Amino acid sequence: MFRPTIRERRARTPALQRATAAAAALCLCVACGFEPGPAPLEFSLSGATQSALEDAPAVRDQIARELTTLFGTPSQPAYAPHPAWDAAGVDLNQPDASAGAPYPGLAAAAETYRRECLHCHGVEGGGDGPSAFGLTPAPRDVRLGIFKYTALKDQSRPRRADILHTLEQGIAGTSMPNFQRLAPAVRESLADYVRYLAIRGEVESALVLTWREEEELSPEAVGEALTFVWSRWAKAPSKLVVYEGEVPAASKERIARGDALFHDPLKGNCASCHGTSGAGDGPAAWKIGVDGQREPAYSDAWGRPIRPRDLREGLFHGGSRPIDIYRRIYAGIPGGPMPALGETMKDGEPLLSSEEMWCLVHYVRSLSLREGP
């Protein structure tokens, strides 16, 4: 059947008629105060949930509904009342603002996130915003609740202070910028919004798991999933890696001892991954793939290949102060193979003493700190 193209239709519409229609449309806009703005955002289920529940559309819908009830939407983010919050004595919708200035609140934080973070970290915090394409390392997918650069042991969930530290400092050597240009209270609200996205994502996977185990999702099971997820966040403040006292000086002796520990397979064993010269090319870091080519031996928690850092570059993602590197050696880097040595025991004794870890810190720093002309 013949359909006129738009151009043909426009050509046939008398000019006066077109002008009247345009004027009418304009009046309508002015009358209702219409201002064109971005469409409201919605949360989607993660790719992992979608594929896990490929054959169970009704469960997918139920999980999406439960999540909206518990967490609201990106335009109206809010934690629903829940016994876990009462037990912890916290109001996550109005956390204390230590920055002094008025606390913006979760909805305002969501708007700031939309402007500043979404293009990298995605609507749900999945690290899949439009600007994330091709970035290495990829923006963090916070939905697993795994954060790499905290001051905490036991692969703990982060404290607000840890996320704030990332926002203040950015992550050196990656595309993650610092946000010092935003007011401290705004950064606090953003840290709370990141936690909100992480908890929401973790509850989503907990619900999928519960359904798989129990083949139904009762209201009690939904409540328990949230209580379980929150219990891990609630523990964070007790997990701080503390070092009392002065940082031991970077003497020649300590650097030499650090060098020995770094290469000793029975002590630091760092060279197995980081290589003899610290270039990230140790034998444990690589394997031979099916096609006979060398490829990274490890994958991270997000399923991407991961390589030990080239320590000669001096780009420390978690900070380059001695205490930052001490914490990395003590607590490892969650989500990847870098081990936590602070509490590793051997024959009933700590594998490394605190003094030995400081020697390693100074040795690692010496690999990139070039002294003299």
Listed ranges 51-59, 92-100, 201-209, 338-346: which one lies at the site for ligand HEC (CB under 6 A): 338-346
Among 74, 122, 268, 322, binds ligand HEC (CB under 6 A): 268
φ/ψ of 51, rounded to 5, equals -75, -30
* CB 320, CB 250: distance < 8 Å: no
Q: Are strands 345-346 and 349-350 parallel, antiparallel or unpaired?
A: antiparallel
Q: Is 370 helix (H, G, I), strand (E, B) or coil?
A: coil
- Could you tell me the smallest distance in angstroms from the CB atom of residue 78 to ligand HEC? 19
CA atoms within 13 A on the CB side of 177: 10
Choice between 230 and 316, CB closer to ligand HEC? 316
Helical (H) or strand (E) element with 163: helix 160-169
**Of 81 and 177, which has the nearer Cβ to ligand HEC?**
177
Q: Read off the DSSP letter of residue 238.
A: G
CB of 359 to ligand HEC, least distance (A): 10
Touching ligand HEC, residues 182-211 (CB under 6 A): 190, 194
Residues numbered 204 to 263 that lie near ligand HEC (CB under 6 A) are: none
Helix or strand (DSSP H, E) at 34:
none
Using the contact rule CB under 6 A, the part of the chain among 72-80, 94-102, 173-181, 205-213 near ligand HEC is: 173-181
Alpha helices, H only, 40-82: 47-52, 57-71
Residues 3-62 interacting with ligand HEC (rule: CB under 6 A): none
Compute how many other C-beta atoms are within 10 angstroms of the C-beta atom of residue 373: 3
Q: How far is the CB of 194 from ligand HEC (least distance, A)?
A: 5
- Alpha carbons 232 and 51: distance in angstroms, whole number: 26
User: What element of type H or E holds 91?
Assistant: none
Among 316, 326, 330, 358, binds ligand HEC (CB under 6 A): 316
Regarding 274 and contact with ligand HEC (CB under 6 A), the answer is yes
Q: Please, what is the minimum distance in Å from the beta carbon of residue 112 to ligand HEC?
A: 7
Work out which of 178, 272, 354, 368 binds ligand HEC, going by CB under 6 A.
272
CA distance 21 to 278: 71
Rounded distance between C-alpha atoms, residue 202 and residue 137, angstroms: 22
Determine the size of the site formed for ligand HEC (CB under 6 A): 49
Report 112-171 residues binding ligand HEC (CB under 6 A): 116-117, 120-121, 131, 135, 137, 139-140, 147-150, 163, 166-167, 171
Contact between 367 and ligand HEC (CB under 6 A)?
no
Residue located via tokens 């031996």: 297
| 246 secondary structure, DSSP code | P
313 DSSP assignment: G
Query: Whole-angstrom Cα distance, residue 113 to residue 339?
Result: 32
Contact letters for ligand HEC, residues 78-117 (x by CB under 6 A): --------------------------------------xx
Looking at 53, 255, 360, 367, which residue binds ligand HEC (CB under 6 A)?
360
Tokens coding 39:
């469409």
161: Cα separation from own chain's centroid: 14
- Please identify which residue in 160, 195, 257, 317 interacts with ligand HEC, judged by CB under 6 A: 317
Interacting residue ranges for ligand HEC, rule: CB under 6 A: 116-117, 120-121, 131, 135, 137, 139-140, 147-150, 163, 166-167, 171, 174-177, 179, 190, 194, 268-270, 272-274, 284, 306, 308-309, 311, 316-318, 325, 328-329, 333, 336-339, 341, 360, 364
